[in-house]
Amino acid sequence: MQDDVLFVHGGSPLEGEVRVKGAKNLVPKAMVAALLGQEPSRLRNVPGIRDVHIVRGLLQLHGVAVYEGDEADELVMDPSSVELANVADIDAHAGSSRIPILLCGPLLHRIGRAFIPDLGGCRIGGRPIDFHLNVLRDFGATVDKRPEGLFLEAPNGLHGAKIELPYPSVGTTEQVLLTAVRAEGTTELRNAAVEPEIIDLICVLQKMGAIISVATDRVIRITGVERLGGYTHRALPDRLEGASWACAALATQGDVFVRGARQLDMMTFLNVFRQVGGAFQVEDDGIRFWHPGGRLRAIALETDVHPGFQTDWQQPLVVALTQASGLSIVHETVYESRLGFTSALNQMGATIQLYSECLGGTPCRFGQRNFQHSAVISGPAKLHGADLVIPDLRGGFSYLIAALAAEGTSRVHGIDLINRGYEGFHAKLDALGARVELPEPVREGVA
Ligand code: EPU
């Protein structure tokens, strides 16, 4: 597709200001939560990204009226007429996002049945849904796997359960929350994920009337209630987008003020950014990130669940690490294939070697399974422009950073994938002085 390519002329620093809105990994889930209420909900700070459009479409298919609120970036969702959607219509969303799996609990509560199409999402590992289906069965749901998708029913209603996750999965923790809040009795979830987006979802549910407590040992307890109302909520800012712009500033020797970025959600990232040699200043309304001059330092880093170093920060940071002096080690412990994007960086002149051993940290669940999930990055590398094909959302943004840091012009293919999670990234790049352009439209009759 012609307009799915971006020409990036690298070699100049990004300078200026961008604004981040609500988090991609909270907003669609808060929209799903609106399904559980008896009254309309208002979500604020909603970014114009594709994942939001997909969930909006899914909610509308199920009878939820979704419209813009009076405030800018506000969505109103009225779930008073929820109904079972046509399977073929839902199936049209197959492969578009991973969010549909989170509709299971709310739909079972509201209409007693749910159909979930094949899921999409970034190809950064196998991304199974076994934890999701197991917890739904724990609540009393039956799951019928058919070629076109999953059909779920709850013949005896949903009841609270004692659950221990094999791994603190973000999505499964959200699945439990969205199901337990209206299940009969209490639910105890052990080894839960506690990412800031999950805590924000808990705030949303509490506003609706849910009773949820989070203990310090990753145990979440939920007391089911019979009725939930609507909510008014301002989504927490996108700490993943914030970090992406920070890495872009560092890798291009630039200076970017990220309006909306919040220190509390980014503390772990900020520590690493400083260790590498980046500078930042926290202001009331955002964080300024810049390259202070001099050499960047190599580091050893391991991704982990919150409060560890978030896996979604890893890919943009790796691009910045290609500019650090010495050997950096990155051990990816959340997704088994999230370092595959580095082969294109090597084509651009980086020196990154992947290993299947757990390097530089604690052994993880991928160590014995032959996944190349550790990287040694040797820098500083002089990057040059290349033809790049975007593999996944964060990897895609990281290619843009690499292309901006490189000498010469890169052709970045598949940029539409970036629209899934970065609102108006092209306009933001323009505002930061990046030299990026879409190709001239193909004239009619010209192949
Ligand atoms: N896992 C299973 N079985 C399951 C569910 C998960 O084995 O049923 C495994 C996964 O394969 C993975 C690990 O558990 O190895 C963690 O997956 P998790 O469930 O935590 O991830 P997710 O909910 O699918 C969300 C974000 C990701 C983010 C991760 C980790 C959304 C829509 N996606 O994914 O975001 O990387 O949590 O924080 O919230 C992104 O924004 O680019 C992105 C990929």
Average pLDDT, stretch 32-36? 97
**Per this entry, what is the length of the chain?**
447
341 lines ligand 1 (CB under 6 A): no
pTM: 0.96
Which atom of ligand 1 is the closest one to the Cα of 133? 8
Q: What is the mean pLDDT of the chain?
A: 93
Are 212 and 206 spatial neighbours (Cβ–Cβ below 8 Å)?
Answer: yes
Average pLDDT, stretch 329-357? 97
Percent of the chain with pLDDT over 90: 86
Are 37 and 227 spatial neighbours (Cβ–Cβ below 8 Å)?
Answer: no
Q: Ligand 1: distance of its center to the CA of 170 in Å?
A: 6
Which residues are CB-neighbours of 124 under 8 A, at least 6 positions away?
335, 337, 338, 340, 392, 395
pLDDT band at 53 (very low <50, low <70, confident <90, very high): very high
Average pLDDT, stretch 356-382? 93
How many whole angstroms separate alpha carbon 400 and alpha carbon 419?
13
Q: What is the pLDDT of residue 85?
A: 73
Judged against a pLDDT cut of 90, whether residue 125 lies above it is answered with no
DSSP-assigned letter for residue 230: -
Q: What is the pLDDT of residue 446?
A: 38
Joined tokens for residue 240: 């993943």
198 lines ligand 1 (CB under 6 A): no
122 lines ligand 1 (CB under 6 A): yes
Q: Ligand 1: distance of its center to the CA of 434 in Å?
A: 32
Residue having the nearest C-alpha atom to atom 32 of ligand 1: 25
**What is the tens place of the pLDDT at every residue in 270-283?**
999 999 999 999 99
How many whole angstroms separate alpha carbon 149 and alpha carbon 93?
11
DSSP-assigned letter for residue 266: H
Selecting among 122, 247, 358, 364, the annotated active-site residue is: 122
Judged against a pLDDT cut of 70, whether residue 212 lies above it is answered with yes
- Of residues 337, 301, 336, the one with CA closest to residue 318: 301
DSSP run (H or E) holding 331 = strand 324-331
User: 133-153 burial, b if ≥16 CB within 10 A, otherwise e?
Assistant: bebbebbbbebeeeeebbebe
Is 247 known to be catalytic? no
Which one has a higher pLDDT value, 238 or 81? 238
User: 334-343 burial, b if ≥16 CB within 10 A, otherwise e?
Assistant: bbbbbbbbbe
How many whole angstroms separate alpha carbon 151 and alpha carbon 441?
44
- First and final C-alpha spacing in the chain: 12
Residue 95 burial by CB count (10 A; 0-12/13-18/19+): exposed, middle or buried? exposed
Q: What is the pLDDT of residue 443?
A: 43
**What is the tens place of the pLDDT at every residue in 144-183?**
988 878 899 999 999 999 999 999 999 999 999 999 999 9
311 lines ligand 1 (CB under 6 A): yes
Average pLDDT, stretch 105-127? 82
191 lines ligand 1 (CB under 6 A): no
* Neighbour tally for 202: CB within 10 Å: 21
Amino acid at 10: G
How many whole angstroms separate alpha carbon 121 and alpha carbon 371?
20
How many whole angstroms separate alpha carbon 247 and alpha carbon 157?
48
Q: Ligand 1: distance of its center to the CA of 138 in Å?
A: 20
The SS3 of residue 404 is helix
Judged against a pLDDT cut of 90, whether residue 95 lies above it is answered with no
Average pLDDT, stretch 313-328? 98
67 lines ligand 1 (CB under 6 A): no
